[in-house]
Amino acid sequence: MVDSLTAVVRDEPRRRSFGRVTDAPLPDTAVGIPPIPDDLSGITAEQYRASMRHYPAGVTIVTLDSPDGPVGFTATSFASLSLEPPLVSFNIAHNSSSIEAIRTADSVVIHFLGEHQQHLAQRFARSAEQRFADRSLWTTLESGEPVLHGTPIWVRAVVQRLIPIGDHTFVVGLVTRVHDSTDEKPAAAPLLYYQGRYHRPTSLG
């Protein structure tokens, strides 16, 4: 997957910023990639939504520093992408109030929420103005990104690629720091999202 992404951006116009490749919106005719039809898939939006609701996901909050202050949003689109180098990804909607901050950010922190942090997942999916209003919920790394207290695992990632595709931008980050407190007792179970509700995992044995 990484190779094909590299192939997409290799010959496209780009702007270098702090050593990162920031890709201009790619035409559908991007190198080697056939156009993606926007109205010929043969399924309805409702069929798509219904099937995706049935796919369970871990819940993350992506945070970043911006010239206007801390920015963050709840995201279930997180995925681990590559071990060598250690890459992760998530998607951000083009109509998100965080999109401009992501486009100019050098780095992000991705929090893997625990089951005790449902309130944060809800908070960071609602009013953007309120997300960081409670100063007791977060602190700031020396590198500038906000970090939410009590998060079992968070990773800091330097943004490597921004790839606009469909109505989202696919963000690829190189992990440069890992915080892991899952060896603390009691260990926090991860927070899951499924069928529009939050869940905790149940072992099958």
Where does this chain touch ligand FMN (CB under 6 A) — which range of 4-12, 24-32, 89-97, 153-161? 89-97
Judged by CB, which is closer to ligand FMN: 11, or 167?
167
Q: Closer to ligand FMN at the Cβ: 10 or 94? A: 94
Please check whether residue 148 is in contact with residue 89, taking contact to mean a CB–CB distance below 8 angstroms.
no
CB 198 within 8 A of CB 64: no
Considering the complex, what minimum distance in angstroms separates the CB of residue 75 from ligand FMN? 3
Position among 23, 63, 64, 91 found at the interface with ligand FMN (CB under 6 A): 91
74 binding ligand FMN? (CB under 6 A) = yes
The nearest distance, CB 71 to ligand FMN, in angstroms, is 9
DSSP codes of every residue in 136-171: GGEEE-TTS-EEETT-SEEEEEEEEEEEEETTEEEE
Q: Residue 124 and residue 111: Cα distance in Å, rounded?
A: 12
The tokens 């250690």 sit on which residue?
Answer: 86
CB of 185 to ligand FMN, least distance (A): 28
10 Å Cβ neighbour count for 86? 15
**Stretch 98-137 residues interacting with ligand FMN (CB under 6 A):** 98, 124-125, 128
Positive or negative, the CA dihedral 126, 97, 151, 59 is positive
Please report, as ranges, the residues that interact with ligand FMN according to CB under 6 A.
Answer: 59, 73-77, 90-93, 96-98, 124-125, 128, 193
